[in-house]
Amino acid sequence: MLLDGGGVRPAYQRFEDWFDRQDHAALIEKSTEAENVFRRTGITFNVYGQEEAAERLIPFDLVPRIISKGEWDRLAVGIEQRVWALNAFLADIYNEKEIIKAGIVPERLISGNEAYLPQMEGFRPPAGVYTHIIGTDIVRTAEDQFYVLEDNARTPSGVSYMLENRETMMQMFPELFAQNRVQPVETYPHDLRRSLAAVAPPACEGVPTVAILTPGIHNSAYYEHAFLADNMGVELIEGSDVVTMDGRVKMRTTAGYRTIDVLYRRVDDAFLDPLAFRPESVLGIPGIMDVYKRGGVTIANAPGTGISDDKAIYSYMPDIVEFYTGKPAILQNVPTWRCAEADSLAYVLEHLAELVVKEVHGSGGYGMLVGPAASKAEREVFAAKLREKPGNYIAQPTLSLSTVPILVDKGLAPRHVDLRPFVLVSDKIRIIPGGLTRVALKEGSLVVNSSQGGGTKDTWVLKD
């Protein structure tokens, strides 16, 4: 919000003028009101392994994150390039494997990866799209310096919070939206349904039927599954509601069986089809992989896309982007040491107090070490893990992340943030103007994940 030399950035000027006119006590009351709205609406998430507080409210901060049109336009070009390359990478590793033959990505990182599905080899999904919905996590470290922190190409979550945050802000502060030309995000459910319908399978006749497959009410993102189904106007189903017959996937309804053309699945690969993957799964649909490979249904995102979420693969993304686009990556990776490599491991062990170390398959802020915030004992325990299984980890420098203001008792205070823009891929690439801003509410903290105490903000992309 503030320039280094003092003063307010142009994108924030109208907000700052408005904020200066507000009664601070009234804004604090509005924060409580917003929390009550979220609680009544049921906007919660589950925290695994913490039974005493299994269901939590994500803290919401009333101060929006504001991005100028010029900044967003530069970001969008880089995001589109990266998303296109990710899709090309997945198509290649499951078919021609040209990037492996060229020696760009080591074969061992593909074939030995638990997220790689041999069942997808030699198969191309309808319309050639693997990653229908992507959430790309981006951090900012300087005026014109953005880094991609990770790619979420499996089942990215958080879009319901983006939409609810916007609706809450528009209800509470309509005058702000009259004073600031903010690009809309509320078209996302319509855009998602249209995008999914555009990749209907060859067997589809007429208007495609879209449904969302959920693991059920105990899943951490169940609220989002129900929210999206309601706002898209599609059925929310569980595996027990569905059968495969006559080469199609069909859901039970009061009027009999109805064919599903496009299935937006929020069930992990391993549980998707007990006949193809884990036989004990009761969350998936027996036989769906066979129907899928015969052109009877589209699954979004495609099975096997999780390999592009792998943090060891992430470390090759600049090379992957250049290999498939012929141009250098517009959005850079955070510099990364692959602990599987002896020289990198030695460096990481020597500089553990300065680095962030992550599991290659980890997510949600779990299984990581933030060196500068860890005790000597914690670093020693983690060093033992690194020596035992170095291939399970990558390390990155502790970045000086940008901050945005949050509302506190005394006014505004800076906190670190990241940004997860949501991207839809079908007949075209659609990037929603904004996304989910996650904020580290603890002073000085760099961990923004909701499961680790982070909160969210409304994200404004200005029209001019």
pLDDT digits (tens, 9 = 90+) for 344-392: 999 999 999 999 998 887 655 567 888 888 899 999 999 999 999 998 8
Which residues contact residue 362 at a Cβ distance below 8 angstroms, ignoring those fewer than 6 apart?
311, 368
* Whether pLDDT at 49 is above 90: no
pLDDT tens digits, residue range 247-270? 999 999 989 999 999 999 999 999
* Whether pLDDT at 9 is above 70: yes
* Whether pLDDT at 436 is above 90: yes
96 burial level (CB within 10 Å; 0-12, 13-18, 19+): exposed
Neighbouring C-alpha atoms within 13 Å toward the C-beta of 409: 0
Q: Please, are residues 41 and 164 in contact by the beta-carbon 8 Å criterion?
A: yes
> Considering only CA atoms, which of 141, 147, 183, 139 is closest in space to residue 162?
183
- The average pLDDT across 21-28 equals 94
From CA 378, how far away is CA 386, in angstroms rounded? 12
Structure confidence at residue 52 (pLDDT): 45
Structure confidence at residue 48 (pLDDT): 46
Residue 220: band (very low, low, confident or very high) from pLDDT cuts 50, 70, 90: confident
This prediction's pTM:
0.91
- The average pLDDT across 28-47 equals 79
Which residues contact residue 77 at a Cβ distance below 8 angstroms, ignoring those fewer than 6 apart?
330
pLDDT tens digits, residue range 175-191? 999 999 999 999 999 99
Structure confidence at residue 6 (pLDDT): 83
From CA 96, how far away is CA 121, in angstroms rounded? 9
- The average pLDDT across 412-431 equals 95
* Whether pLDDT at 44 is above 80: no
How is residue 269 written in tokens?
């690969």
Structure confidence at residue 427 (pLDDT): 87
- The average pLDDT across 14-32 equals 94
Taking phi over 0 as left and psi of -120 to 50 as alpha, with beta for the rest, 122 belongs to: left
pLDDT tens digits, residue range 226-252? 999 999 999 999 999 999 999 999 999
**Domain annotation for the chain: domains and CATH numbers:** 10-332+400-461 (no CATH), 335-397 (3.30.1490.270)
Structure confidence at residue 366 (pLDDT): 61
pLDDT tens digits, residue range 101-120? 999 999 999 998 889 999 99
Residue 83: band (very low, low, confident or very high) from pLDDT cuts 50, 70, 90: very high
Structure confidence at residue 362 (pLDDT): 63
Q: What share of the chain in percent tops pLDDT 70?
A: 95
- The average pLDDT across 311-336 equals 94
Which residues contact residue 72 at a Cβ distance below 8 angstroms, ignoring those fewer than 6 apart?
433, 461, 462
CA dihedral (35, 41, 46, 51) in degrees, to 10, reads: 80
Q: What share of the chain in percent tops pLDDT 90?
A: 78
Residue 59: band (very low, low, confident or very high) from pLDDT cuts 50, 70, 90: confident
From CA 250, how far away is CA 269, in angstroms rounded? 20
Q: How many CB atoms lie within 10 A of CB 246?
A: 9
Average pLDDT, the chain: 92
Structure confidence at residue 451 (pLDDT): 65
Q: Please, are residues 387 and 339 in contact by the beta-carbon 8 Å criterion?
A: no
Q: Give the amino acid at 290.
A: D
Backbone dihedral angles phi then psi of residue 299, each to the nearest 5 degrees? -110, 125
From CA 190, how far away is CA 228, in angstroms rounded? 10
- The average pLDDT across 284-313 equals 95
Structure confidence at residue 84 (pLDDT): 97
pLDDT tens digits, residue range 194-217? 999 999 999 999 999 999 999 999
Residue 38: band (very low, low, confident or very high) from pLDDT cuts 50, 70, 90: confident
Q: Please, are residues 341 and 394 in contact by the beta-carbon 8 Å criterion?
A: no
